[in-house]
Amino acid sequence: MTKVLVVDDSNSIRDMVSFTLKSAGYETVEAKDGQEGLSKAKSSNFDLVISDVNMPNMDGISLCTELRKLVNFKFTPILMLTTESSAEMKMRGKSAGATGWLVKPFNPEKLLATIKRVVK
Amino acid sequence: MTVDLSQFIPSFLEESFEGLELMESELLNLKEGDNETIHSIFRAAHSIKGGAGTFGFDKVTEFTHLVETLLDEMRDGRREITSKDTEILLESVDCMRLLIEAARDDDNYDHDKVEQTTSRLAETLGDEPSSDSDNQSENIVAASNVCGYTINFIPEHSLAKTGNDPLFIFNALAELGQLTLSADCNDLPALVDIDPQELYLSWQLTLYTDVGEAEIREIFEWVEDECLLELVPIADTSNTSQDIEVLAPEEEPQSQSTTTNQEQLASTQNASSAIAGAKESTAEDTNIPATAKDKDKAKAKADVGSIRVGVDKIDNLINLVGELVITQSMLSELGNDFDMDKVDRLTSGLEQLLQNTKELQESVMRIRMLPISFAFNRFPRLVHDLAIKTGKKMELVIKGEQTELDKTVMEQIGDPLVHLVRNAADHGIESCEVRLAKGKPEKGTISLDAYHQGGNIVIEVKDDGAGIDRQVVLDKAVEKGLIEADAILTESQVYDLLFEPGFSTAAEVTDISGRGVGMDVVKRNIQSLGGRIQVESTLGKGSCFRVHLPLTLAILDGQLVKVGSETYIIPLIAIVESLQIDNKLINRVSGDMVLYRLRDDNVPILPIYQLFNLATKCTEIDKALLVVVEADGQKIGLMVDDLLAQQQVVIKSLKDNYQQVAGISGATILGDGSVAMILDIPGIIHMALAQAQHAQREKTDGNASVTAEVCL
């Protein structure tokens, strides 16, 4: 089963992403900020990471940079869930090694359609 | 597939209101250069915006976007944090709250306020809020005579390092139509030179589809900066009159010739096509709120009434239930084959059961308990606003915010407290000049304090302002006809006048307080919670309003009393003292009034058997016991046959199970299974006074038949 790590500081967004993915048959693990996400990533393998950008403790961009340093996450798709759709934000994501971005507002159908571009 | 997200609306709302509270309190603490605070305010706004968009709360999204933009400028240091901006942001928080509540209840909101704040925000930001409805038309490409595209896709060697995999992209493309592709291996180096982490292939794809170019480009959205991507429309040959140039304005005719060259990445054509692509993707983004709106029509209603409980409290409960189960199994084993040898073990088992039940009860009650900071945290903002409105300087000191209180009580005490704080700010604290002239610090202090006292919680609202001038209160009361001009009142009776309906001592009515609507309501609300309010004041030094409240509304400490064959419960909080009646102190005044001299007071005696029409042998006053109770500053002696135990009783509503009965506030079930009524002390005193007055009136009217059942 495709296993997804969902990182977001907002309970409701995290629940929704997780719920949507589960209803489409994915397995999910949740983390409430970058720090927790990183430690969960270190203890398990994931096929996909979906992370918010603005979070306390460790933001999504730093999480992405840290994940790319891990051998297991060298090629793992990492998608940033962001409301900031500016080109600058996307460049920051890219240079940190993010695979792509999902622009909020969160839309379940779009999420499921777009993640097909990076995972089974 | 459709995924229904409406089940997440309540948790989004809860989170949003928490976010708003955080924004408010952080804004009040905001100082220049405090980046961490700005960041957390920004994050809160950001989360609200994100969630609101998802559920189609468009007004919230739109408005929060402006707030977020302003915060973003502050966060990046592009804007200095001025107190004016903070004010606007605080107002914005109010508006966001209005909008979210309106979205929640599917209701209207104060359009003027929101519009005003919106324009102030826009003004601060220095531009008009952009409307997002006008930028959709330009992307519509007439696809009528295009039947597909030839796609040249030349990724950078490092593409895989960002986690992208062309195979998934091609799979996604194949879902749009009929896809054929051929790989170009020209760039593949000699085997020894191959870096396994690099991508050396490029592809030419042909996709026959009826979807537009934008949708195809969207699939490449995440890789467009890391590849050379060209889309060439394939003309539909069945349609003779086609015009390719018009259909694909971004495509330069010569671009096809440059396909296989890696260096072309830096070429101007690529740059321009990348920009075009970016433009499209932004346009695509702005479309999303519209679709989200259509899908998430479902609205969640407001009061789901959830409560957040600490895990430790739950764990404790589980632990206790575990112990209860052990005790139960021990007892049932004892019962299986019982003989008198086991009596000791039975007694200790029952003892244990009692202990378990008691602890369980306490733990369950604790779940409903929340720190009073939930009620207090709105006050910093209130005092901040009041200081601006009144032009006075004042600060708020909060103490004891961790004191726990029942959730129901908490919800109902908020408004009375707001009233008291408003009063303190408006009537209590003097203007700066007056304060300085009096030798007080320029800045006034209002303090909120909460602490436990016995089974009660005490909340104090204190100010170091002018205090209450008793003479002014008395004059006003005489003027309003509340008291006789020559009445002599005790200090607490004078302060009680403040709680009379329509009473206000403010020289002029302000929009903050002083209309005289309220203090009576404050008192009524507090009383309906089973509490009372006390006033202390020193002229020139300040006032203190002290609210005593029961910790919970579900359980009551009661004194069981016997009247005839019935058992009644008197709330312990109302009892002043219980005593054996001394005949010498009984004072029969004219008519049926029986007074009992209790030190300096004359307390009317009210026999309960008469009140409830009961048969009892104990009808003579000197053989009965007297329980002196107090409510509304009025004492009364309840005559009962006997005092029984004191115990905690669980209150059952009489109204829900039967109907409201005057003089009874509820019922409970005693240990032996019988039902006992809980006396409504304020109600009984009120009844007694009314009857006494009635009797008095009939008497003065010259009517000889005194019908008062109550001797007062």
pLDDT at B300: 36
CB pairs under 8 A between A and B: 124
Domains of chain A, first to last:
3-115 (3.40.50.2300)
Q: What is the pTM of this model?
A: 0.55
Q: What is the pLDDT of residues B161-174, one digit of tens each?
A: 888 888 888 888 88
Residue of B nearest to A112 (CA): B1
Residue B594: pLDDT band with limits 50, 70, 90:
confident
- Which of A27-31, B347-351, B512-516, B569-573 shows the lowest per-residue confidence on average (mean pLDDT)? B512-516
Residue of B nearest to A97 (CA): B162
pLDDT at B34: 75
Query: What are φ and ψ of residue B698, in 5° steps?
Result: -60, -35
CATH says B555-700 is which class?
Answer: mainly beta
B-chain CB neighbours of A12 within 8 Å are 8, 11-12, 15, 51
pLDDT at B446: 93
Q: Is the pLDDT of residue B561 over 90?
A: yes
B-chain CB neighbours of A88 within 8 Å are none
Mean pLDDT of B323-331: 90
B-chain CB neighbours of A118 within 8 Å are 163-165, 168, 222
- Please give the residue that has the higher pLDDT: either B78 or A17: A17
B371-550 folds as: Heat Shock Protein 90 (3.30.565)
Residue B591: pLDDT band with limits 50, 70, 90:
low
Q: What is the pLDDT of residues B73-103, one digit of tens each?
A: 888 778 888 888 888 888 899 999 989 888 8
B142-237+244-280 folds as: Alpha-Beta Plaits (3.30.70)
Residue B257: pLDDT band with limits 50, 70, 90:
very low
Q: Which of B152, B356, B423, B525 is catalytic?
A: B423
Q: What is the pLDDT of residues B434-446, one digit of tens each?
A: 899 988 898 999 9
Most confident stretch, A78-92, B110-124, B139-153, B514-528: B110-124
Mean pLDDT of B103-116: 84
- Which of B41-50, B169-178, B246-255, B400-409 shows the lowest per-residue confidence on average (mean pLDDT)? B246-255
Residue B256: pLDDT band with limits 50, 70, 90:
very low
Inter-chain residue contact A104 with B50, CB threshold 8 Å: yes
Residue from the list B12, B54, B160 with its beta carbon closest to the beta carbon of A104: B54
- Which of B387-401, B426-440, B498-512, B627-641 shows the lowest per-residue confidence on average (mean pLDDT)? B498-512
The answer, yes or no, to whether ipTM is higher than 0.90 is no
Calpha distance B701→B696 (Å, rounded): 9
A-chain CB neighbours of B165 within 8 Å are 75, 77, 118
Structure tokens at B2: 């459709």
- Which of B136-145, B229-238, B348-357, B397-406 shows the lowest per-residue confidence on average (mean pLDDT)? B136-145
Residue B305: pLDDT band with limits 50, 70, 90:
low
Distance from CA of A62 to the nearest CA of B (A): 14
Chain A: residues touching B (Cβ < 8 Å): 9-13, 15-16, 19-20, 23-24, 54-56, 68, 74-78, 83, 85, 87, 90-91, 94, 97-101, 103-110, 112, 116-120
Q: Whole-number mean pLDDT of chain B?
A: 78
Q: Is the pLDDT of residue B12 over 80?
A: yes
H runs (alpha helix) in A4-107: 11-23, 34-43, 60-69, 87-96
DSSP string, B502-558: T----SS--SSS-SS-SHHHHHHHHHHTT-EEEEEEETTTEEEEEEEEES-SSEEEE
Inter-chain residue contact B171 with A13, CB threshold 8 Å: no
Q: Is the pLDDT of residue B255 over 50?
A: no
Mean pLDDT of A67-87: 85
SS3 B692: helix
Q: How, if at all, do strands B394-399 and B444-453 pair?
A: parallel
Percent of chain B whose pLDDT exceeds 70: 81
Please name which of B583, B663, B669 lies closest in space to residue B631, comparing C-alpha atoms: B663
Distance from CA of B12 to the nearest CA of A (A): 5
Torsion of CA B99, B103, B106, B107, to 10 degrees: 0
- Selected for mutation to probe chain B from A32, A50, A51, A54 (highest B CB count within 10 Å) is A54
How many other C-beta atoms can be found within 10 angstroms of the C-beta atom of residue B458? 18
Residues B549 and B531: beta-carbon distance below 8 Å: yes
In the annotation, is B427 catalytic? Answer: no
CATH architecture of B6-125: Up-down Bundle (1.20)
Query: What are φ and ψ of residue B54, in 5° steps?
Result: -60, -40
Chain B: residues touching A (Cβ < 8 Å): 1-3, 5, 8, 11-12, 15, 40, 42-43, 46-47, 49-54, 61, 160-165, 168-169, 171-172, 175, 197, 219, 221-222, 225-226, 278, 282, 285, 288-289, 291-292, 295
Half-sphere exposure of B530 (CA within 13 A, CB side): 28
Q: Is the pLDDT of residue B295 over 50?
A: no
DSSP string, B41-109: HHHHHHHHHHHHHHTT-HHHHHHHHHHHHHHHHHHTTSS---HHHHHHHHHHHHHHHHHHHHHHHT---
Burial class (CB in 10 A: 0-12, 13-18, 19+), B471: exposed
Mean pLDDT of B204-208: 89
In the annotation, is B419 catalytic? Answer: no
In the annotation, is B68 catalytic? Answer: yes
Residue from the list A11, A101, A118 with its beta carbon closest to the beta carbon of B163: A118
Please name which of A11, A20, A85, A82 lies closest in space to residue A52, comparing C-alpha atoms: A82
Which amino acid is present at B708?
A
Q: Is the pLDDT of residue B299 over 60?
A: no
SS3 B321: helix
Q: What is the 3-state secondary structure (H, E, C) of B40-53?
A: HHHHHHHHHHHHHH
* B700 contact partners, CB below 8 Å, separation of at least 6: none
Inter-chain residue contact A107 with B54, CB threshold 8 Å: yes
